[in-house]
Amino acid sequence: MKLHVFEAPIVNKSVLWNSHKGILLALTLLLVTIIPLSTNKNLPSSLPNLWKNTTNLKTVESEKKCDLFRGNWVPKSERPYYTNDTCDMMFEYQNCLKYGRPDREFLKWRWKPDDCELPLFDPAQFLEIVKGKSLAFVGDSVARNHMQSLLCLLSNVSHPVDVSPKYNLSYDFKRWFFADYNFTVARFWSPYLVKSKDADLNGFSANSLMNLYLDEADPSWNSAVESFDYVVFSAGQWFFRPQVYYENGQITGCFYCQQSNVTQVLNSYGYGKVFQTVFRTIMGLKGYKGVTFLRTFSPSHFENGDWDKGGNCARTVPFTKEEMKWKSFVVELHKAQVEAFKEAEKEGTKKGLEFKLLDTTEAMLMRPDGHPNHYSPRMNVSVADCVHWCLPGPIDTWNEFLFYILKTGRKDTH
């Protein structure tokens, strides 16, 4: 099966290189890492008073038929919510300004839905909404990227304490506590969301074969999220690796596995099955009473070559809606996960559980300018990061979506 090179089989290694694969693996990952992969003098030293949001939420709430996730990026006059000087919790590999990104145009856009307004993020209001509660991000290093955007946004009002050692010593699992609000933010490393195992006889590498057990949730999260009030699930670029799919203990197909005796299927098959398992599992947790979010597929933007063939992402402005192109595999992956979400939403309603959609895919397809590219601690390496998102940057919009949905309780956003 031919692999679409635009979203090459990459591995989220910025997190893995700190895990337990050993020094040799760490060196390998550094060479191929994209997903895994200070000067800030041009930005103001003080942040603006963005938190007195002038957007009339009642007006927004009255527009019942507005699709929050269909729109365009429009110029904005507001400064960034935070900078690399004001937030000390961002991962170095997404700290684009610190590592020399010269342009600032990518910071001068905000998302405008077609038929309504998206309010600015208000950290004080957000923290009041989640006071006494807990929020978990479950997924790969883009989920970590999302979480760190939220931490930076909230740190303008309250600075969290890293309480991870109380729960887990692994870098892959982190917890932050906002004492003033008794609010916990956590992340659980689970790039496939289901049980997985290395299957390559030569060991783990950038494109080594993985076994995915599509009907078995990853125990790293399913035993830990039951007590959380909000859980955000996401998955992405790891699904471009070669994979063999198992269901009920039997092989049911594979993606890019190059095994003639196994039925070749699209990775969207496994992707959809994974989210079915995720939602079935979360609904089956006896003590779970939380709100479940799906954050949809986050695209990469490699141009001038594949990720390991000199591809980069050097654009400095967004695509227009006319310039944006939905690649067929993005369409299929997005469709598979949203269909699984809609079925879970119906079933969840019967059980009194809420499911919410953060449909970020279209907005991010238009942001080829939002990635770190080569502006990271390893600027001299040949592999560009066109998968993660700069902090600050367009990924902060994901938390504007999250804030809006929590604020309004909106259900008809998809």
* 239's tokens: 């699904």
* 284's tokens: 């089956």
Q: Is residue 190 among the annotated active site residues?
A: no
Cα(280)–Cα(277) distance, rounded to whole angstroms?
Answer: 5
Helices 141-154 + 396-408 axis angle, to 10 = 70
H or E segment and range at residue 212: strand 210-217
Q: If DSSP codes are grouped into helix, strand and coil, which group holds residue 373? A: strand
Cα(375)–Cα(102) distance, rounded to whole angstroms?
Answer: 9
Catalytic residue (one of 140, 359, 385, 396)? 385
| Nearest partner of 371 among 325, 309, 303, 322, judged by Cα | 303
213-216 long-range contacts, Cβ below 8 Å, gap at least 24? 213/246, 213/247, 214/245, 214/246, 214/247, 214/252, 214/270, 214/273, 214/274, 214/277, 215/246, 215/247, 215/248, 215/273, 215/277, 216/277
Q: Is residue 388 among the annotated active site residues?
A: yes
Catalytic residue (one of 134, 141, 155, 300)? 141
Q: Is residue 227 among the annotated active site residues?
A: no
Beta-sheet strands, E only, within 220-276: 230-233, 243-247, 250-255
Cα(116)–Cα(118) distance, rounded to whole angstroms?
Answer: 7
Cα(123)–Cα(51) distance, rounded to whole angstroms?
Answer: 7
* 336's tokens: 């598979």
Catalytic residue (one of 146, 334, 371, 388)? 388
- Let me know: does 117 contact 87? Beta carbons within 8 Å: no
- The backbone region for 170, taken as left when phi is positive above 0, alpha when psi lies in -120 to 50, beta otherwise, is beta
Q: If DSSP codes are grouped into helix, strand and coil, which group holds residue 298? A: coil
Q: Which residues are catalytic?
A: 141, 385, 388
